[in-house]
Chains A and B, each alone.
Chain A
Amino acid sequence: MAGARARRTQASECFSIVLELVPNDNACRQALQQCAQDMARLNTY
């Protein structure tokens, strides 16, 4: 089963594709930033 990190990576990829298709989707941009923050937080452990 995929770990939390793998799921966040996959989520980031989804949001990135959406942003390529809809560049002004701010909600998606924020979700992508949240993913990046979560990944950074995970890296500190």
Chain B
Amino acid sequence: MFRLVLGLSPNDERALVNWCDPPLACLPTDDVCSGRSPCHPPLTAPCGCGIRGGALCLRAKLLAQSGVEAEAVKMLQLAAVKKFEAAVEINPQSTQALRSWGLALQDAAELTPHDAADAIELLSQVRVACTLMAVSIWQVECDLVVGSRRQIF
């Protein structure tokens, strides 16, 4: 259905968001976000609002709960991330799309807690830190040498 709408109108932001988001009756409102009426209680965000699950995100979570292989769950989650991203590209001011994109990204991050990209990034940070530390040690040594020479002369 959503695919059909997007085939006819590729820039239909609403179709993209709804593809990932819950049915209209469950769409987040200010009341929902205040935690008064969570949409999908078992799948709500830690804050208690109902905006965590989208149709795609929801399917990903249900698959994860049913013990389906992690790769399939991750693919669904990443599909949701891409659709929210496309929706934000069409309308950068859409708070609903931005909020959902952020939550979908968070979920995707949970599925890949520590991967190679993180390891490489952390390693580069460690290298920078080591270089800075080596420079500071060298400076201290230089100061000591200069200090001892002054004492000799």
Contacts and interface: CB of A to CB of B under 8 A. Distances in A.
Nearest to A22: B95
Interface of A: 1-8, 10-15, 17-18, 21-22, 25-28, 30-31, 34-35, 38, 42, 45
Interface of B: 33-35, 45-49, 51, 81, 88, 92-93, 95, 98-99, 101-103, 105-106, 108-110, 112-118, 121-122
Contacts of A45: 114, 122
Given A8-B109, A30-B47, 12 more contacts: A1-B117, A4-B110, A7-B81, A7-B108, A10-B102, A11-B109, A18-B95, A25-B33, A27-B33, A31-B103, A34-B46, A38-B109
A11 B90 CA distance: 18
Most buried by B among A3, A8, A15, A22: A3
B118 A4 contact: yes
